[in-house]
Amino acid sequence: MKTRHLSIIARKEFRGLFNERTILLAVLLQLFIALFSSFLMVGLTSMYDPSSLSKYSRFKYNVAYAGNDSAIYGYLQNSADFRVFKMDLSTGVAALEQRKISAVIWVPDTGPDSPDPVKVTMYTLQNDLQGAIVDVKLKDIFLKYERDLRQIRSDRITEQPIPLQIPKASGGGDFYEFVYGLLIPLLVFMPAIIASALVIDLITEEYQHETLETLISTPVTFTEMVWGKILACEMLVPVQAAAWILLLVINGIAIQNPVLILVQVSVTSFILVLLGALVALHYRERTAAQFIFSTALVVVMLFALALPDNPLNLLTRLAVGTAGIEQWIMLAITGLIILILGALTHWYAEKTGRANLSG
């Protein structure tokens, strides 16, 4: 193969990418996610765990208090999160249905020193984001009241429980999960999937548009044509991934080892691009090739995700700076797979090229 011919094909495909609306829309979607990653992180966190938004809320919620007097009423009055109003239970529930208040708390006439349990009933709006936030804030109020009851009823304890020294959990778990466990791998690895789907379109369109005979009549061989398209798609991956990493850093997200991340993504994407090229060479029809490749991709990704040191896990560990020697082992294994797939692709392209010439 001649390098000059490969560069000609690659430049031709780069110019044609601007006419691929699907690819451009996918790139723009990733650009939007990367530009507004901080905003989307809050949104995704609220979908995963709505109660996590309670730490950001500074709004005072109206709460109805019904039933008998208790320490809960005093805690609500002293809370900076609530405005409490005494009213009948039926009136409070009606106001809750009209969204004039955020919750209704009903306390029974069971005294703190009573032998019976105190069953406090709370009414909130179902499947409501505000209701989830109010639930979390009211939980602190109820825990205070529970401690009061335990202290008043401490004489009933016949056995002394063993105290557990559990360290206090630090915040930021949801941020870590979404940014480093989902957002970064999704953005950085998505160009690899796009490139593998793109190479199928680039190869099959030569058959569908009946331009293969014209291309083979030039000094460029069929094998050089295939490798030129593969290299064009592969070169897009580190460029896109580098842009997303830069945008994430601008958003204030700290990313360790950006160079190693680009290397890992580029090497892993080469496997997907080669697989896409093999499928396209075999089926030669875009719809069938894309369907077979998408199905195979799901199976491959499920198998890869079952491994402890899968590419997505390595991307996360590289981003937080905790990857060890296993990343180099995976790079070596991935490189070996690329050599095997590359040899198979080259052999299949030459075989297909000879069949085209003879046909």
CATH number at residue 83: 3.40.1710.10
209 plus 331 within the same structural domain: yes
Query: Helix, strand or coil for residue 322?
Result: coil
Q: What is the mean pLDDT of residues 75-86?
A: 89
| Total number of residues shown for the chain | 359
223 plus 310 within the same structural domain: yes
91 plus 237 within the same structural domain: no
The count of other CB atoms within 10 Å of the CB of residue 253 is 19
Distances (CA, A) of 92 to 41, 69, 70, 136, 340: 35, 16, 18, 20, 71
* DSSP character at residue 180: I
Note whether 9 and 228 are within 8 A (CB).
yes
Q: Which residues of 309-342 are buried (b: 16+ CB within 10 A; e: fewer)?
A: ebbbbbbbbbbbeebeeebeebbeebeeebeebb
The whole-number pLDDT of residue 57 equals: 55
* Residue 115 confidence class, pLDDT cut points 50, 70, 90: confident
Query: Does the structure show a pLDDT above 80 at 153?
Result: yes
Which domain-ending residue is among 147, 181, 212?
147
Q: What pLDDT digit, counting tens, does each position of 195-219 carry?
A: 888 888 888 887 777 776 666 667 7
Going by C-alpha positions, the residue among 48, 326, 29 that lies closest to residue 182 is: 48
* Residue 94 confidence class, pLDDT cut points 50, 70, 90: very high
Q: What is the mean pLDDT of residues 263-282?
A: 89
Query: Does the structure show a pLDDT above 60 at 176?
Result: yes
Task: Tell me what the pLDDT averaged over the chain comes to.
Answer: 79
117 plus 218 within the same structural domain: no
13 plus 118 within the same structural domain: no
The answer to whether position 203 is within a domain reads yes
70 plus 187 within the same structural domain: no
320 plus 178 within the same structural domain: yes
Query: Does the structure show a pLDDT above 70 at 23?
Result: no
The whole-number pLDDT of residue 166 equals: 65
224 plus 257 within the same structural domain: yes
Which residue segment(s) compose the domain that 124 sits in?
54-147
Alpha-carbon gap, residue 21 to 197, rounded angstroms:
14
Q: Phi and psi for 84 in degrees, rounded to 5?
A: -105, 140
pLDDT above 70 coverage of the chain, percent: 77
The Cα angle at residue 288 between residues 284 and 290, in degrees rounded to 5: 95
31 plus 58 within the same structural domain: no
- Which residue do the tokens 């009606």 mark? 94
100 plus 128 within the same structural domain: yes
The answer to whether position 41 is within a domain reads no
Mode of pairing for the β-strands spanning 103-107 and 61-67? parallel
Query: Does the structure show a pLDDT above 70 at 120?
Result: yes
Going by C-alpha positions, the residue among 236, 240, 283 that lies closest to residue 17 is: 236
Q: What pLDDT digit, counting tens, does each position of 33-57 carry?
A: 656 555 555 555 555 555 555 555 5
The whole-number pLDDT of residue 65 equals: 94
End-to-end CA distance of the chain: 22
Residue 27 C-alpha from the chain's centroid: 16
Going by C-alpha positions, the residue among 228, 178, 183, 181 that lies closest to residue 202 is: 228
* Residue 21 confidence class, pLDDT cut points 50, 70, 90: low
89 plus 125 within the same structural domain: yes
* 352 token code pair: 């297909």
Q: What is the mean pLDDT of residues 84-108?
A: 91
Alpha-carbon gap, residue 89 to 37, rounded angstroms:
44
Alpha-carbon gap, residue 59 to 210, rounded angstroms:
65
The whole-number pLDDT of residue 191 equals: 83
Q: What pLDDT digit, counting tens, does each position of 55-68 carry?
A: 555 678 899 999 99
Domains in the chain: how many in total?
Answer: 2
